[in-house]
Structure 1
């Protein structure tokens, strides 16, 4: 087995992504209560005791809320940037390990690259995972696509990509003006068009799976996201969307 991945859930109510090999399983983010995390892990056939480590992208509650309870309960190492570790008592716990944006490290037998991204958090990053010549890119919670992002995500065999909002839906939607500016700004979240533009610098022929993630329940639909992304794909069969409740089931990189 090379790499496989699955989602506990994706959206503003909670996020968590599993990345696994034959020998290890890491959890990226945990925005759920301990009880809910266990329920969602069980749905994917994973016991908390099987986790090797937790990685955290940034300190917003829908990504970090359940991290410390899970780490304490099962004595799991937690890798975050120094800025992210300002959350709660993270830095003073015996489980915290620093993984700075721009750094790479082997964790549980997986080579992990931390990629700095523009988002309104203390020191956010996203991750590219490599194992046995295969790579998985996880890219959500950023407001713009930078040259650094394009560089690191150009050669992925699978990609979990934020398609947070449709611009007309956001503009006409119920959010107050300040929140609309935050979500749609350079330090907010990717819209469907921005997500599609990233694919122009990717080796599309390599992509076995592209998962549209972190879709706003108020400002986007899977159909709108698909209509923006699908024209850039070689095969529409490789394209699916992550759900807030169901996440998505295991996908394997051949």
Structure 2
């Protein structure tokens, strides 16, 4: 059974980029870091862009596409992006590298199967993703205004997931944001609160979910220790990781129900049981 290697290169309103791959190929979900910073963080982790075969874009907000033009052009990476997202993004991509994004069925990237589904967010045509190989499923679920059946059903399949836990309700209410921005964040088209994310985790977590990456935490309206403690109390066998807005996470290795951890995923002999 093949293994998945996954990391958050960055997660937050200052940039989002997630790497999911196996021994032969990988994809990036979003490209919100500069090309140079993406390359630098991957190098530190022992990952190579030579294995990345495509970039999938969730929506057109700058923290998800900031580095896309340069990254795609420099490394000749196909970009899977919906027509609505492309139209509203202002991106100048090489037409030869643009691929349509559809919810009709998974896209095959080597042995990886990438599925897109619609989500609630204040963007033109926003999508979330799963990356699977027939044995293992990884979810990337951020920038979500509210939980829907699409999200719940995909979450139930995942062995690991990046799940948004953007804000604490009390910190948001008492914080410095103006009322219109608070309303946007919690209004059903913005972001998931810690409480909403936890409810999804408790109600829909499959028994085989080994790792949960709490993602897209607000710098102003959340606290990593607060949200980690909140989820750890309900985690049982699921390992809780905070996807930082300041640096990359280590690379985690997931193979069905067998999970391992490493900073050097290419050297399988160095992997150890978590």
User: Given the two structures, how large is their TM-score scaled by the length of structure 1?
Assistant: 0.94
Q: Give the C-alpha shift of residue 208 in structure 1.
A: 0.9
Contact kept, 8 Å, 1:143 with 1:185, in 2: the verdict is yes
In the TM superposition, what are the counterparts of 1:95-244 in structure 2 within 5 Å?
95-101=97-103, 103-235=105-237, 238-244=239-245
Counterpart-to-counterpart distance in 1, 2:247 and 2:53: 23
In 1, the alpha carbon distance for the partners of 2:200 and 2:24 equals: 32
Give the secondary structure class of the aligned counterpart of 1:218.
coil
Of the three residues 91, 94, 99, the one matched with 2:96 is 94
- Give 2:82's aligned residue: 81
The RMSD of aligned alpha carbons is 1.6
Q: Secondary structure at the match of 1:186?
A: coil
Corresponding residue for residue 3 of structure 1: 4
Shift of 1:2: 2.0
Instruction: Give the match's secondary structure for 1:94.
Output: helix
Distance 1:9 1:203 in 2: 24
Q: How many residues align?
A: 253
Question: Is contact 1:30–1:67 with CA below 8 Å preserved after alignment?
Answer: yes
Unaligned runs of 5+ in 2: 259-274
- The aligned counterpart of 1:63 is 64
Which digits, 9 at most, give the CA deviation of each residue in 1:2-51, with x for residues without a partner?
21201111111111100011110111111122222221121222233332
CA–CA distance in 1 between the matches of 2:4 and 2:149?
26
Give, in angstroms, the shift of residue 194 of structure 1.
0.5
Offset at residue 59 of structure 1 (A): 0.7
CA apart distance, 1:132? 4.0
Greater CA deviation, 227-236 or 159-168? 227-236
Secondary structure at the aligned position of 1:5 is classed as: strand
User: What CA deviation, in whole Å up to 9, does each residue of 1:50-98 have, x standing for no partner?
Assistant: 3211111111000001111111111110011121111224576211101
SS of aligned partner of 1:228: helix
Q: 83-92 or 180-189: which moved more? A: 83-92
In structure 2, the residue corresponding to 1:83 is in which secondary structure? Answer: helix
Give ranges in structure 1 of 5+ residues lacking alignment: none
Report the counterpart of residue 16 of structure 1 in structure 2: 17
Shift of 1:185: 1.4
Q: Structure 1, residues 168-213: CA drift from partner, whole Å, max 9, x if none?
A: 0011111111111111110000000000111234244211101111
Shift of 1:156: 0.9
**SS of equivalent residue, structure 1 residue 79:** strand
Distance in 2 separating the partners of 1:53 and 1:35:
17
